[in-house]
A and B are shown apart, each in its own frame.
Chain A
Amino acid sequence: MTTSTVDVKAPEQAPPPAPAPGRRRRFAVHFAHYKWLYLLLLPGVVYFAVFRYAPMYGVSIAFKDYVPFLGVNGSPWVGFQHFQDFFSNPDFGRLLGNTLILAFLNLGIAFPLTIVLALLLNEVRLSILKRTVQTLVYIPHFLSWTIVASLSFLLFALDFGPLFLFINSVLGTDIDFLSDPAWFRPLIVLQEIWKNTGWGTIIFLAALATVDQDQYEAAIIDGAGRFRRVWHITLPGIRSTIIVMLILAIGQMLNTGFEQIYLMTNALNRSVADVFDTYVYFVGITQGAYSYSTAVGLFKSLVGIVLIFGTNWLAKRFNQSGLF
């Protein structure tokens, strides 16, 4: 890499072809003419420079030993040291496992449930029932994870919560759902289902509305039942939407939702609860290992980008329309 930059340096040092004086003047005229527009643009550009691009530059501390008083620029380079430390740390395998298990549980349970709920809603012809159910199931999406976690704390409270009492009396057990590591993942998936399944149906319902209605009539004449119509007409009709949503979901796989996991993490379930996002917080913010945790965060976002492009490539390979 370095050698090639040196090679091209010589021609670069030659003065670039000077822009025709007319061109420069034309830009000055353009600028003067649109000065108000450029002025309006300025705050937004400053925002992106400061709050979006400066942190991207700050990612360089993943390859440095960040010392607060030396700043991002002054801190010494250490190359891939933090990445090596992370990959050889026993935490790495645990974090990867926890993150992937939660991701696959969400992908394997919450994602299909969204499609099923959309299909069931789509079969409803009683429009008042459809609208009412939709209104109700969309609400949780707008509530904060703090509220979702608080409701869970109350409903599953030890010796107290209605769901604690109900489930334990049905199973004949005495499980403390909030601290038992075995129940952490089911709780997370349950919260995810309650909060976002309803909202997720919107996009599928919109796709379902575009499925050609004539095909159903033809299928009815051919004697196809309800389920065969769904299987052979409805599902193929929304296939491209399902694929796009799946690509998006896989691209987001490692984003396990910092707030949700953080709120449900406690001293007793850390072994299964720790995921990349919360690990970055605990190690970076509470323990002050800034460079190391930045390296962890960078690793996570790079894997995310690879995942989204990879799935998109796969979707195209199988002759489906990809996302881009």
Chain B
Amino acid sequence: MKIHNTTGGRIFDAANYVFLTVIGVLTLLPFVYVFAGSFATEAEITRRAFFVWPEQFSLGSYEYIFSTPAFIRALVTTVLVTVVGTVVQLILTVTMAYPLAKRNLRGRQLILSLVVFAMVFSGGMIPTFLLIKDLGLLNSYWALILPAAINPFSLIIIKNFFQELPQELEESAKMDGATEVGILWRILLPLSKPVLATFALFYAVGIWNDFMSPLLYLSDNSKWTLQMYLRQVTASSDLLGTGNVDPNYIPPEQGIKFAVIVVATLPILIFYPFLQKHFAKGMLIGSVKG
């Protein structure tokens, strides 16, 4: 629709295309650097300041980290917590959203207002920490899962989604003698698969990336998650003036840092195409109705 017939317009377009390409490449460059470094030898990393292709290909860094018990433990822990946490979040959110989508259910308005209030105001770091402590969940993986088990925003979005599904589906199922739980299980869930898949991905990314909860709730370093491990490996020891670090810790070689970053990033990059398919839409729904 926009006609660009002027020379100035064409110059602008060319400059814009070049500029955006540079922005895209610059965004990607840190990954390329780390990815290349993780497959290089320690000698090459020290010799060459920056490279995107190693001269000598080496799996040494990966061999090292995958033979380190602390790393394996952190990786396995994080995968487990992410899987269990995502399932718990999905179940709790769906079971709560479904009754709240019923317009004639008494007490619904009250509960919805309390949910919305919880979006605006929260107890904050210390009262939540004391609660976790009083519940005896310190150094338990449940402390990484339960406090954030329902996100009020996604609860409201899923509730709205259920509400917008055609009523006739449920009514006809009811006539066939289906129970409320049966309707949720057999009719609504299959219809909401794409929506729930999107939320599952976002939940998983959130748990995988979470650094604050393990920092607050896991003081036992044998229970650390990958993000905690990554921080300990990459922050050079003289910079760690801020507590919660294993005192017997020896700073690693550079290549190992590169490899740990790659392992922590890779799952996100693998799932990224799936995320990208949905997030623009999801974010817009959230901003309009949340």
Contact = CB atoms under 8 A, between A and B. Distances in A.
User: Do A and B come together as binding partners?
Assistant: yes
B174 to A, nearest CB: 12
Interface of A: 27, 30-31, 34, 36-38, 40-41, 43-45, 47-48, 50-59, 61, 66, 71-72, 117, 120-121, 123-126, 129, 132-133, 135-140, 142-147, 149-151, 153-155, 157-158, 160-162, 165-166, 178-179, 194, 198, 202-203, 206, 213, 216-217, 220, 225-226, 258-259, 262-263, 265-268, 270, 277, 280-282, 284-286, 290, 293-294, 297-298, 301, 305
B50 interface: yes
A59 B21 CA distance: 49
Nearest to A227: B12
Given A47-B146, A136-B28, A263-B235, 13 more contacts: A41-B95, A44-B150, A44-B155, A48-B150, A120-B16, A136-B27, A146-B227, A149-B231, A166-B50, A265-B241, A267-B239, A267-B241, A301-B124
Contact of A48 (B118, B210, B272): B118
B127 A56 contact: yes
A265 B257 CA distance: 19
A151 B261 contact: yes
B284 A52 contact: no
Interface residues of B, number: 100
A38 B242 contact: no
B239 A153 contact: yes
Contact of A266 (B8, B100, B150, B241): B241
B96 A137 contact: no
Interface centre among B126, B134, B212 (most CB of A within 10 A): B126
Contacts of A56: 121-123, 127
A43 B2 CA distance: 54
Contact of B276 (A125, A135, A217, A286): A135
A200 B25 CA distance: 18
18 contacts: A37-B102, A51-B128, A58-B127, A58-B130, A124-B17, A144-B227, A146-B230, A146-B231, A150-B261, A153-B235, A154-B34, A154-B254, A160-B254, A203-B284, A213-B1, A259-B211, A266-B241, A268-B241
B276 A206 contact: no
B interface, over-half SS:
helix
A290 B243 CA distance: 18
Interface stretch (B60-68, B165-173, B190-198, B262-270): B262-270
Contacts of A301: 121-122, 124
Contacts of B283: 202-203
Given A59-B123, A285-B216, A40 B261 contact: no
A305 B120 CA distance: 8
Nearest to A214: B1
A263 B230 CA distance: 11
A43 B21 CA distance: 49
B19 A226 contact: no
Contact of B241 (A47, A58, A270): A270
Contact of A55 (B33, B37, B127): B127
Contacts of A55: 122-124, 127-128, 131
B252 interface: no
Contact of A36 (B19, B180, B258): B180
Given A43-B95, A123-B13, A203-B284, A284 B129 contact: yes
Contacts of A41: 95-96, 99-100, 111
Contacts of B231: 146, 149-150, 263
B234 interface: yes
B20 A48 contact: no
Given A129-B20, A162-B33, A203-B284, A143 B268 contact: yes
Contacts of A132: 24
Contacts of B93: 44
Contacts of B150: 44, 47-48
B181 interface: yes
Given A27-B106, A41-B111, A43-B96, A144 B34 contact: no
Interface in B1-50: 1-4, 6, 8-9, 12-13, 16-17, 19-21, 23-25, 27-28, 30, 33-34, 37, 46, 49-50
